[in-house]
Chains A and B, each alone.
Chain A
Amino acid sequence: MKNNFSDNINKIINWWNAKKEDVSTFLVPIISIIVAFIVAGIMIKATGKSPIQAYKLLFEGAFGSSLKEFLSLKQAGEGLLKGAILTLTGLSVTVAFKVGLFNIGAEGQFIIGSIVAAYFGYIFNLPSIIGIPLILILVGIVSGLYGAFAAWLKVKRGVHEVITTIMLNWIAIHLVENWIVVGPFNILKYYPGTLLVGTPYVTDSSRLKPLFEGTRLNALIFIAIIAVIIIYIIINKTVLGYEIQATGLNINAAKYAGINTSKTMIISMFIAGALSGISGACMILGIEGRYPGVFSQGYGFDGITMSLIGNTTPIGTFIAAIFFGFVRAGATGMQLMGIHKSFTDIIQGFATIFVAGQSGIKYLLFLIGEKRAIKTKEATDGNY
Chain B
Amino acid sequence: MEIIKIIISFLSSMLQFATPIILAGLGGVICENAGVVNIALEGMMRMGGFFAVLGSYITSTRFDPILGSRDPLAGNPWIGILLAIIIGILAGLLHGYISISLKGNQIVSGVAINVFALGGMTFFLERYFNTTGHSPSVNSFMGKPLIPILTKIPIIGELFRVMNIFVWLALILPFVLHFFLYNTPWGLRLRAVGEHPKAADTLGIDVYKVRYFAVIMSGIFAALAGASMSIGQLDLFDNHMPAGLGFIALAAMIFGKWKPIGTLLAALFFMLANVLQIFIQTYAPSVLNIIPRGFFLALPYILTILILAGFVGKATAPAADGVPYEKGEKL
Interface centre among A166, A173, A177, A343, by most chain B C-beta atoms within 10 angstroms, is A166
A178 touching B126, Cβ below 8 Å: no
Our pick among B98, B116, B247, B250 for the contact of A349 (Cβ within 8 Å) is B116
Across-interface contacts of A130 in B (CB, < 8 A): none
Given A305-B111, A358-B104, A179:B293 Cβ within 8 A: yes
Smallest beta-carbon distance B306→chain A, Å: 10
* B109 engages A356 (CB within 8 Å): yes
Q: How far is the CA of A358 from the CA of B109 in the complex (A)?
A: 11
Given A170-B247, A179-B292, A349-B120, are A159 and B305 neighbors across the interface (CB < 8 Å)?
A: yes
Q: Are B107 and A157 in contact (CB under 8 A)?
A: no
Q: Are B39 and A166 in contact, CB atoms less than 8 angstroms apart?
A: yes
User: Quick check: is A134 within 8 A (CB to CB) of the other chain?
Assistant: no
Which residues of the partner chain B approach A346 to less than 8 Å between Cβ atoms? 116, 119-120, 123
Query: Quick check: A356 and B108 within 8 Å, CB to CB?
Result: yes
Closest to A358 in B: B104
User: CB-CB contacts of B61-87 with A at 8 A, as 1s and 0s?
Assistant: 000000000000000000000000000
Complex CA distance for A160 and B316, rounded to whole angstroms: 10
Contact of B119 among A183, A349, A353, A360 (CB under 8 A): A349
Give the distance to chain B from A259, nearest Cβ to Cβ, in Å: 24
Which B residues are CB-close (under 8 A) to A349? 112-120
B contact residues around A375 at 8 Å (CB): none
Most chain A CB within 10 A, of B126, B132, B295, B301, is at B301
User: Which of B97, B107, B126, B305 has its CB near the most chain A CB atoms (within 10 A)?
Assistant: B305
Complex Cα distance, B39 from A164, in Å, reads 13
Interface string of A161-184 (1 = CB under 8 A from B): 011101111110111111110110
- For the complex, give the distance between the alpha carbons of A349 and B309 in Å: 32
Interchain CB contact under 8 A, A348 and B113 = no
User: Could you tell me which residues of chain B, from 103 to 159, have a CB within 8 Å of some CB in chain A?
Assistant: 103-105, 107-109, 111-120, 122-123, 126-127, 132
Answer whether residue B298 sits at the interface, using C-beta atoms and an 8 A cutoff.
yes
Contact in complex: B102, A357 (CB < 8 Å): yes
Q: Is the CB of B254 within 8 A of A163?
A: yes
Q: Interface size of A by Cβ–Cβ distance < 8 Å?
A: 53
A43 contacts B111, CB within 8 Å? Answer: no
Given contacts A170-B298, A340-B126, contact A348 B104 (CB under 8 A): no
* A338 within 8 A of partner (CB): yes
| A174/B298 contact (C-beta < 8 A), A167-B304, A357-B97 known | yes
Chain A 83-110 against B: per-residue CB contact (8 Å), 1 yes, 0 no?
Answer: 0000000000000000000101000000
Give the docked Cα–Cα distance between A358 and B112 (Å). 13
In angstroms, Cα B115 to Cα A110, docked, is 18
Chain B hits for A182, CB < 8 A: 293
B294 at the interface (CB under 8 A from A): yes
Asked whether A352 lies within 8 Å of B108 as measured between CB atoms, the reply is yes
Tell me, yes or no, whether B225 is within 8 Å of chain A by CB: no
A268 to B123, CA, bound (A): 38
Task: Answer yes or no: A145 CB below 8 A from chain B CBs.
Answer: no
Give the residue among A159, A174, A178, A179 with the most B Cβ atoms within 10 A: A174
Q: Does A383 contact B (CB under 8 A)?
A: no
Of A157, A338, A355, the residue contacting B308 (CB under 8 A) is A157
A226 surroundings in chain B (CB, below 8 A) = none
Which residue in chain A gives the minimum CB-CB distance to B316?
Answer: A158
B46 to chain A, nearest CB (A): 11
Contact (Cβ within 8 A) A356 B292: no
Contacts of A42 in B (CB 8 A): none
Contacts A178-B293, A353-B94: A360 and B111 contacting too (C-beta < 8 A)?
A: no
Interface string of A138-169 (1 = CB under 8 A from B): 00000000000000010001011011101111
**In the assembled complex, which residues on chain A have CB atoms less than 8 Å from the CB atom of B102?**
356-360
A345: which B residues are within 8 A, CB to CB? Answer: 115-116, 118-120, 122
In contact, B309 and A159 (Cβ under 8 angstroms)? yes
Q: Is B285 interfacial (CB-CB < 8 Å)? A: no
- A153-B116 contact in complex given A166-B247, A356-B98, C-beta closer than 8 Å: no
Instruction: Give the CA-CA distance A298 to B42 in the complex, in Å.
Output: 14
Q: State whether A162 touches B39 (Cβ < 8 A).
A: yes
Instruction: Report Cα–Cα, A350/B98, bound state, in Å.
Output: 12
> How far does the alpha carbon of A104 sit from the alpha carbon of B305 in the complex, in Å?
15
Find out whether the CB atom of A153 lies under 8 angstroms from the CB atom of B305.
yes
Interface membership of A301, Cβ < 8 A: yes
**B116: which A residues are within 8 A, CB to CB?**
345-346, 349-350, 352-353
Tell whether A308 is near chain B: CB-to-CB under 8 Å. Answer: yes
Q: Which residue of B lies closest to A176 (CB)?
A: B294
Which residues on the A side are within 8 Å of B117 (C-beta)? 349
Whether A47 and B298, one on each chain, are in contact in the complex, defined by CB atoms closer than 8 angstroms, is: no
A357 with B294: CB separation less than 8 A: no
Chain B residues whose C-beta falls within 8 Å of the C-beta of A157 in the assembled complex: 308-310
- Whether a CB of chain B sits under 8 angstroms from the CB of A203 is no
Q: Once the chains bind, are A43 and B123 in contact (CB under 8 Å)? A: yes
User: Are A343 and B309 interface neighbours, CB within 8 A?
Assistant: no
What is the bound-complex CA distance between A66 and B103, given in angstroms?
45
Chain B residue with minimal CB distance to A108? B301
Q: Which residue of A lies closest to B244 (CB)?
A: A170
Complex alpha-carbon distance, A104 and B110, angstroms: 11
A175–B298 alpha-carbon span in the complex (Å): 7
Contact status B298-A171, CB under 8 Å: yes
Interface residues of B in 180-238 (CB under 8 A from A): none
Q: How far is the CA of A153 from the CA of B109 in the complex (A)?
A: 25
A164 to B254, CA, bound (A): 11
Bits for B290-323, please: 1 = Cβ < 8 Å to A, else 0.
0011110110011011001110000001000000
- Asked if A301 contacts B114 (CB within 8 A), the reply is yes
B111, A104: Cβ atoms closer than 8 Å: yes
* A168 CA / B301 CA spacing, docked (Å): 7
7 residue pairs, one from A and one from B, having the closest CB atoms? A345-B119, A349-B116, A179-B294, A352-B112, A178-B294, A349-B115, A174-B298
With A178-B292, A343-B122, A349-B112 already in contact, 5 other A-B pairs whose C-beta atoms are closer than 8 Å:
A104-B107, A168-B305, A179-B293, A298-B118, A349-B114
14 contacts between A and B (CB under 8 A): A160-B308, A163-B250, A163-B254, A166-B39, A167-B251, A167-B301, A167-B304, A170-B298, A176-B294, A301-B115, A339-B126, A340-B126, A342-B118, A349-B118
